[in-house]
Amino acid sequence: MATVTIKAEEAKQLVIQKLQEAGLNDQHAMKIADVLVHADLRNVNSHGVLRTEHYINRLKAGGIKPDANITFQSTGPVTGIVDGDDGFGHVVADIAMDHAIEMAKSSGVGMVTAMNSSHCGALSYFVQKAAEEKLIGIAMTHTDKIVVPFGGKTQFLGTNPIAYGVPAKTKQPFILDMATSNVALGKILQAREEGKEIPEGWAVDENGAPVTDPNKVASLTPFGGPKGYGLAVIVDIFSGLLAGAAFGPHIGKMYDDLDKKRKLGHYFCAINPAFFTDPDVFLEQMDRMMEELQQVPPAPGFDRVYVPGEIEQLHEARNLEQGITIASSVYEFLTKKVQ
């Protein structure tokens, strides 16, 4: 597959311009571009700027409001609800996490659900935001059905990702961002774009048989069998039912019915360690824990032990200098002039 390497700032500006051309305001376009490039910098390209074309197609079809009036309602000392008014999920999620952070700073914990939203991009962006404020961040979101439940043949659940961000004193934050399926759907889409096979175990065909051809994928599988299945249901409860949104097979599809509002839900939580323990000791212990994990002797076939999120952070440091690599087709779309 042909690729192009460009600086992160150039990628942001190209995405912003495309979104503005499609009718989105500057502030929302900048936030979406920031979240997408964040993913590309971490080499999570499945959630990066390649999504821009889809977002614009849904925006133009009427499935996302360009002028959404996103509001926050406080429901208690440490709780609240964001109504996304069918706007862009990246902006909705960012506002929700900001409110969770604000409450955690003053009251120890902040929990916010979001409703009437759409796809919000990589959750690592939002939990990292909390970690940078020396808070623990948690984020969950449901997606439309693509995953078979453990023991089942047909789809019921989404990839339903969950993410955690934990601050440290001198080290970069601990960031865990994972789908509850064996792989995120974006990885399948990326493999199709790149013309590559996928590992066996990621997905099954319409008969429930394992496949390696991304074009034959009918459903994904939960990671760890019943364990991933159970977590996927939990994510649907927190980001779906708790947010007053749909669940499983009742969630609007991402790549179909582009003219329909998806009404997605999200869940965000921020926790202030200072309300539970000595915050300096906590941060120092996080440093120590990560250092000791990294010092564990590697197993055969491995160079070393990495802390969750560390590989992506190393990618980000390198890509900030060298640029992000995207498919040429994506670059052509981003640079194509409006006729």
Backbone angles phi, psi at 261, to 5 degrees: -70, 135
142 is a catalytic site residue = no
For residue 232 the two structure tokens come to 């996927």
Cα-to-chain-centroid distance, residue 292: 28
| Secondary structure letter of residue 80 according to DSSP | E
- Please pick, among 28, 90, 119, 266, the residue that the annotation labels catalytic: 119
Query: Taking a C-beta distance cutoff of 8 angstroms, is the pair 57, 47 a contact?
Result: no
Paired residues of 138 in beta bridges: 164, 269
Find the DSSP H helices in the chain. Answer: 8-21, 26-41, 52-61, 89-107, 124-131, 185-194, 226-236, 279-294, 310-322, 328-335
The DSSP string of 206-232 is TTS-B---GGG--EE-BTTTHHHHHHH
| Secondary structure letter of residue 147 according to DSSP | B
Catalytic residues: 119
